[in-house]
Structure 1
Amino acid sequence: MSADRQSIIVRASQAISLSATLSDAEQQKANHLLGLLLAEDTAVNSDIDTRHLTFDIKRFVDGRGLACPMPLLKTKVALRDVAIGESLYVVATDANSQTDITAFCRQNQQTNTANPLILVVNSVTQQQLSASSSAQRFDTIYHFIITKTDSN
């Protein structure tokens, strides 16, 4: 990947752009995982006007294979580097991460009046695992796009 931003269209009026600050490896992982997300019917927060929504992803947290509470802890650390109007893309495989991250964002909205977090995308996909056996195995992946907003 080059230093240019890469855009992936979610719907006709929505776009996801990956920041050039992400490493090549992070961009490749994020592109692959976003491809899974886009292939599914993405669950977008109904409280948000999504007509002209653009996600400017500045950080990526790959929490696949990590047990609770590590995906949430890595999310909290990564949010320190996300500015107002920017987004964090988080993926995890631990089912508890869906509850943890959703609750964290909800609590943040209630307590942080200056720069609340909005959980824009909270979706689940299935990725087929490459296995040597003939039985098909799938990995459940939880996707989150969290945007830091300005309350004004």
Structure 2
Amino acid sequence: MSAESHLYIPYHVYLQQTLSNTEQHTIASLLRLLPTDCISDIQMTDVIDDVQPIVRIKNMVDGRGLACPMPLLKTKVALRNVASGESLYVVATDPNSQADITAFCQQTHQMDGDNQLLLTINQMTKPQTADNTLSEPSDTIFHFIITKTDSN
């Protein structure tokens, strides 16, 4: 086993009650597109079992169909209402979003501030057609879960 091998444990996702029922169902259906090694469980409750690792999604940015830089701008605005320990779920279809959001989260680690951003999930999904071929590139969804962490 090499020194670079890592044991990856999928996240347990809790959708906070601040989300509407529609938002909870939209987020849950989009999260189910992710591989099972990313997300192991999705619960629509604020009651957190004693499981690790945990992601508590407080809000969502739906950037599907928006061109760069709109998904990033909407993400920055939405993060204002996310507290330390909470997460923001972002979905986008613009391929530039992946580089933009990744770079934005990395920049917070270089700044001196109260909170830093941890890019918990950075995953791309491509739906498959009935004949098991990949669909059009426009159907690609980029998924991000950004967790605000305490820098202290």
TM-score (normalizing by structure 1): 0.76
TM-score (normalizing by structure 2): 0.76
Give the whole-Å Cα distance in 2 for the aligned partners of 1:103 and 1:95: 14
Deviation digits for residues 85-143 of structure 1 (CA, Å, limit 9, x no counterpart): 000000000000000000000011111442111111100001358xxxxx973410000
Aligned partner of residue 116 in structure 1, secondary structure? strand
Alignment of 1:3-152 (within 5 A): 14-39=11-36, 41-42=37-38, 52-128=52-128, 137-138=135-136, 139-152=139-152
Aligned partner of residue 104 in structure 1, secondary structure? helix
Aligned partner of residue 149 in structure 1, secondary structure? strand
Structure 2 residues without counterparts, runs of 5 or longer: 1-7, 40-50
Give the whole-Å Cα distance in 2 for the aligned partners of 1:20 and 1:95: 31
Deviation digits for residues 15-69 of structure 1 (CA, Å, limit 9, x no counterpart): 0001111112211110110000145x539xxxxxxx9210000011111111000
Which aligned segments of 4 or more residues in structure 1 are displaced greater than 2 angstroms?
11-14, 135-138
Identity of counterpart residues, as a percentage? 58
- Relative distance call for 1:13 and 1:32 in structure 2 (3 A) is closer
Q: Point out the more displaced range, 12-21 or 79-88.
A: 12-21
TM-align CA RMSD: 2.5
